[in-house]
């Protein structure tokens, strides 16, 4: 595996973890608003 591919994989993992953490934080902070946002207006 090339170093560039390994670097991209690390970035992808970091972004994925960051997104999951953000979603979890929003749901824990305000579940009704989070579910409303998922369902749409």
Of all residues in the chain, what percent are helix, strand and coil, respectively (each to 5)? 90, 0, 10
Say yes or no to pLDDT of 41 above 60. no
Average pLDDT score over the chain: 83
Q: For residue 7, which phi and psi values (nearest 5 degrees)?
A: -65, -40
Q: Measured in whole angstroms, how far is the alpha carbon of residue 25 from the centre of its chain?
A: 10
Q: Measured in whole angstroms, how far is the alpha carbon of residue 37 from the centre of its chain?
A: 15
The pTM score is 0.57
Residue 37: per-residue pLDDT = 67
3 vs 30 pLDDT, higher one: 3
Domain ranges of the chain: 3-39
Residue 39: per-residue pLDDT = 63
Residue 30: per-residue pLDDT = 74
pLDDT tens, residue by residue, 8-19: 999 999 999 999
């Amino acid at each position: 595996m090339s170093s560039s591919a390994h670097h991209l994989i690390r970035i992808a993992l970091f972004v994925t973890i960051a997104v999951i953490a953000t979603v979890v934080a929003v749901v824990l902070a305000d579940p009704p608003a989070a579910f409303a946002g998922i369902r749409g207006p």
